[in-house]
Amino acid sequence: MADTSAQARHVAIIMDGNGRWAKRRHLPRALGHQRGVEAVRTLVRGLAETGIECLTLYAFSSENWKRPGEEVDDLMNLMRKFVKSDLPEFIANDVKLKIIGDWQGLAHDIVEMLEDALAKTSGGTRTLAVALNYGSQQEIARAAAKAAGGGEITPETIAAHLDTADLPPLDLLIRTSGEVRLSNFLLWQAAYAEMIFVDTLWPDFTPEHLQEALDEFARRERRYGGR
């Protein structure tokens, strides 16, 4: 059965290319990550204008712990600054924060900050879901274990225990920087999502790039295995 619905309700982005952006400019990787955060901030500010109900961003994977310790520390500190500085803006823009992944395994102060942000933004009408310490295979394994504890394991019972169970189905997945792979991100949810891979490095990704992707999505015919 074909679906010609033009509006993407749930969009996910693999934000790739911060390091390469910095390298091309002979700048520290940390500055590339800072510019990447600015790109996130700009997109969130314009979220209401897109019609998107949920934007899910791949911020820190469970595999990112393998990076050099200094870079991991920079990323964690950026996370602290982002939550602290942007929380009032989330509230003002009616944005609800959601965290997916094993985020409670992060540093204690970050967990406390996130818990506070989740509580203070719970009334938002549009959702920003941030994947932190996230790995899709691990998520599916957790969901399957929970489904088994309740009896029958089916696609429906597994889906009901995913981190994204309360979010709209994933419509569109975008990856920046020219890489063409999912990197253990939303593997289950992406089963019938449309995918768009762009060459733009994440710090250069703008609301205009997002709108181009949404326009491309609107031109596609979603078939879900049918003709």
> pTM value?
0.94
Predicted confidence (pLDDT) per residue in 67-91, tens digit: 999 999 999 999 999 999 999 999 9
Predicted confidence (pLDDT) per residue in 104-115, tens digit: 999 999 999 999
- Distance, CA of 225 to CA of 227 (rounded, Å): 7
Predicted confidence (pLDDT) per residue in 165-207, tens digit: 999 999 999 999 999 999 999 999 999 999 999 999 999 999 9
What's the pLDDT score for residue 222? 81
For residue 58 the two structure tokens come to 């791949």
Q: Confirm whether 226 is domain-assigned.
A: no
Q: Confirm whether 123 is domain-assigned.
A: yes
Known catalytic residues are: 16, 64
The model's confidence at residue 223, banded by pLDDT at 50, 70 and 90, is confident
Residue 3 pLDDT greater than 70, yes or no = no
Q: Confirm whether 225 is domain-assigned.
A: no
Predicted confidence (pLDDT) per residue in 14-73, tens digit: 999 999 999 999 999 999 999 999 999 999 999 989 999 999 999 999 999 999 999 999
What's the pLDDT score for residue 1? 40
Domain CATH for 164: 3.40.1180.10
- Distance, CA of 152 to CA of 159 (rounded, Å): 13
Number of domains forming the structure of the chain = 1
- Distance, CA of 66 to CA of 16 (rounded, Å): 16
Q: Confirm whether 97 is domain-assigned.
A: yes
Q: Confirm whether 77 is domain-assigned.
A: yes
Q: Confirm whether 4 is domain-assigned.
A: no
CA distance from start to end of the chain? 6
Q: Confirm whether 227 is domain-assigned.
A: no
- Give me the mean pLDDT over the 201-215 stretch: 97
What's the pLDDT score for residue 226? 61
**What is the rounded average pLDDT for all residues in the chain?**
93
Q: Confirm whether 1 is domain-assigned.
A: no
Give the least confident one: 134-138, 208-212, 217-221.
217-221
Q: Which domain holds residue 103?
A: 12-217
CB-neighbour burial class of residue 151 (10 A; exposed 0-12, middle 13-18, buried 19+): exposed
